[in-house]
Structure 1
């Protein structure tokens, strides 16, 4: 390896490390919410980071590098869920409501995006599981991880307007599933 190649490699490593530092909280929070186990979440994030590093030169040329990494993370989280099933681990009990559901509910109510309702957390969890993947991601990123619309748009390779629209659609569906009529839009 000549000096020029070494310098390019060092720059790639610096940009990769900065990129991972920027997205670490989002990736870890998402993986923990989906996997429910901090160790499994850490493992999925590390595997995703390894894959992102392997593809880093290509990812840097993409229009939306954060989306490319997000896609890889979601694949690794899905693979971790599949490994659990293949190892004979039982899926979470339908009666078990992850703590993140309570956090999503509290944040959505605080923001005025979801009115308080008599529905319990289990009903909200069932409603969240019924959302499309994109709507589910937007709700998690916005209300659990507290990302801004700009950060979510970057992560999902879309516009802020699309994030707001997707969030509104998701909250309308959640409100309907929880029996809330005529949710006020903000």
Structure 2
């Protein structure tokens, strides 16, 4: 495959899947700016691996795995946990308001512990199997099941509480 074909195939994949991948990144990070950075890094890594991955047909799964693992790596970096500032920045208003239920769901997702959030996003939003989720996160099937159960229970409680408030 020549470079032009490779670039065209990669571009077609990204154009077709960008909104979906952006939502995954946002669900993992809970922040639009971090999600964009995470997605940019993931797409750069995907581009490097594209010839090998494209022949195997696992482009989307590989990209999801990059998103999850890159997010984990970012969270482990000490500079990500510190935000020293003397003056708070002004925040621009969102271009389009989000749907109320989606907003409540994302807020509830962010309230979950990190590992539960990742399991819930991969299992129940992306529809991966227990085995696929375990493989992507590098944990056992049983851990996926327990995090999924606890995460869904916590989400339900948070969303019920939100409706009553």
The two structures have a TM-score, normalised by structure 2, of 0.56
Q: List structure 1 runs of 4+ shifted beyond 6 angstroms.
A: 104-107
Counting only pairs closer than 5 Å after superposition, residues 31-180 of structure 1 correspond to structure 2 as 31-83=25-77, 85-89=78-82, 103=102, 131=116, 133-141=118-126, 170=148, 174-175=152-153, 178=157
* Greater C-alpha Rg: 1
With over 3 angstroms needed to count, the CA separation of the structure-2 counterparts of 1:173 and 1:46, relative to structure 1, is closer
Give the distance between the partners of 1:34 and 1:101, measured in 2 at CA: 19
CA contact (8 A) 2:120 2:148 kept: yes
CA contact (8 A) 1:52 1:69 kept: yes
Q: Give the drift of 1:57.
A: 0.5
The structure with more helix, counted as a fraction of residues:
2
CA contact (8 A) 2:75 2:81 kept: no
With over 3 angstroms needed to count, the CA separation of the structure-2 counterparts of 1:77 and 1:102, relative to structure 1, is farther
Q: Give the drift of 1:133.
A: 4.3
1:21 aligned to 12, 15, 28, which one? 15
Q: Give the drift of 1:125.
A: 5.7
The two structures have a TM-score, normalised by structure 1, of 0.51
Once superposed, what is the RMSD of the aligned Cα atoms? 4.1
Give the distance between the partners of 1:126 and 1:88, measured in 2 at CA: 17
Q: Secondary structure at the match of 2:6?
A: helix
> For structure 2, which runs of at least 5 residues remain unmatched after alignment?
84-97, 134-143, 158-165
